[in-house]
Amino acid sequence: MSLLRIAGRPLLASMFIAGGMNSLRNPQAVAPVAESVVRPATERISALPDDTEQLVRLNGAVQVVGGVLLGLGRFPRLSALALAATLVPTTLAAHRYWEVEDPSGRAQQRIHFFKNMSMLGGLLITADDTGSAPSLLWRGRHAARDLRHDARLVRRSVRATARPAAAIGGGRAKLGV
């Protein structure tokens, strides 16, 4: 594993662990802000709980677990996808800069919004990173290619040995042996 992955994953994960712990410990502080995203989500997805504080805690728990796993390098692709899934509603709820009237407040929220978008980009890159190991799709394609190649070699060798064997067999039949 490269030094960049060893250092980069925990750095990327640190914000999610800190933010997730805050959401777990103090969901009532985040719930009013999250309400604008929670209501439409719970109306569309019946499996989600209706209580905003429960969803904030659930989001925080996913961020903590995903952040720890990403930081440790365990299931980095899956944990990056889970963190990306939590980052979208978090960003849409907390950093709605287009709704802020105050110019300085709007600028601050815009900075946070695009910071989160940058983190989302990093998570998507991490989710696609195979860690220098070939992906399952690549392995499958190459295994199939290798099988086709081996089958052609077997077919050629069978043809190459079949002709002389047939000639010898035909010669023996003519001789009556």
pLDDT mean over 16-22 = 95
- pLDDT reported for residue 177: 65
Taking the C-alpha atoms of residue 168 and residue 77, their distance in angstroms, rounded to an integer, is: 60
Cα distance between residue 27 and residue 138, in whole Å: 43
Asked whether the predicted pLDDT for residue 149 surpasses 90, the reply is yes
Q: Which of 48-52, 92-96, 122-126, 170-174 has the lowest mean pLDDT?
A: 170-174
Q: CB-based contacts of 76: which residues, under 8 Å, 6+ apart? A: 9, 69, 70, 126, 129, 131
Per residue in 61-73, pLDDT tens? Answer: 999 999 999 999 9
**Mean predicted lDDT score pLDDT of the chain:** 88
**Lowest-confidence pick of 8-22, 30-44, 102-116, 142-156:** 30-44
Mean pLDDT for 151-169 is 83
23: Cβ–Cβ under 8 A, 6 or more apart, which residues? 30, 56, 57, 59, 60, 63
How many C-alpha atoms does 106 have within 13 Å on its Cβ side?
Answer: 6
* In contact, 44 and 53? CB cutoff 8 Å: no
d(CA 127, CA 124) in angstroms, rounded, equals 5
- Long-range contacts (CB closer than 8 Å, 24 or more residues apart) made by 25-33: 27/53, 27/54, 27/56, 27/57, 27/60, 28/53, 30/56, 30/94, 31/56, 33/93, 33/94
Other C-beta atoms lying within 10 Å of the C-beta of residue 67: 26
| Threshold 0.75, pTM exceeds | no
What's the rounded Cα separation, in Å, for the pair 49 and 51? 6
Range 54-62 average pLDDT: 93
Task: Read off the pLDDT of each residue in 147-167 and give the average, rounded to a whole number.
Answer: 85
Specify whether the CB–CB gap between 52 and 31 falls below 8 A: yes
DSSP, res 46: T
1 exposed, middle or buried (CB, 10 Å; 0-12, 13-18, 19+)? exposed
Q: What is the mean pLDDT of residues 39-57?
A: 87
